[in-house]
Amino acid sequence: MLQLECCSWNAAAGRHKPRCRSGTSRMFLTETMRGYRGVKYTLFFFCYCFWVVSAVLIAVGIYAKVAKEKDVVDTLTVDPALLLIVVGLLMFLITFLGCFGALRNATCLLKTFLSILAVVLVLQVMERTETLMMKGVVRYREDQDLENAIDFVQKKFQCCGVENYKDWSRNVYFECSESNPSLEVCGVPFSCCIHLQNQTVLNTMCGYGMQQQQEAAARQHIFTAGCLQRIVLWAQKNLLLVAGLTAGLLLLEVCMMGLAAAQAAWIHRVRRRQKVSEGRRAEERKERLWFPAFADFTEE
């Protein structure tokens, strides 16, 4: 039911000019502002959570970097501690754009935040796990943290290499060539070895020369299956967990992109309405010009 506030009389023009606002339009404006605030503070909450996570990643990376030995190779593809710091810094900057843009209604920051999230989403879909794992095999022994991570994966999943145990020939320490002076030539890391339950003394040289043997013979001493295959099998057995985590992460990124786009569109809409209302007010001010008493308004 419409409720009119007031109507004014324009004496100069000699006609009624209603200046009325309905209660329905006011309620609609209130509901619109509530929806906008919901989008705004939901986006800020998500960005703030990722902001805290990025700060934790930076702190862990710095701690690992300081606690590490000084003579290790410091490259981004090799050093996990440096990788944590870089990823944490990127997350910190990206989420800062989202937080500040959401609070200050800055469309330029929101558009930048939306574009960066879209690029990250595309890179996550295009990046191949096999390529990353093979880089780890090539860089093995160049960083202690990377070596420990690969050893943990091979022991956990009882695997060796990416596709099979002969992938370790890509590493300079285990390469099968006559010119290789390493003692571990044609071998595999100790984490590939099969350990017996009653074995009291561990043979740390059990992987030496295993690449020269056939798979049937090497299977008696080491794991011959590739880690990529083992991880895929584990993911199939735990399909609900893996699919839930992956879909949750992607859905969260898509939701943040949608919230940023919605807030930016909302801000543009409000600014466009403000320009229209300012134009109307300017026209109303022109109509409210004072005319002298008993003026002749008859057309010539």
Q: Is the predicted pLDDT of residue 97 greater than 80, yes or no? A: yes
The pLDDT of residue 48 is 86
CB neighbourhood size of 39 (10 A): 19
Which pLDDT does position 4 carry in this prediction? 34
pLDDT at 160 over 90: yes
Considering the entire predicted model, what is its pTM?
Answer: 0.56
Strand partners, 193: 222
Q: How confident is the model at residue 159 (pLDDT cuts 50, 70, 90)?
A: very high
Instruction: State the pLDDT at residue 21.
Output: 45
pLDDT at residue 7, rounded to an integer? 40
The per-residue pLDDT of the chain, averaged, comes to 76
Per-residue pLDDT of 228-274, as tens digits, reads 889 888 888 887 887 787 777 778 878 888 888 888 888 888 788 87
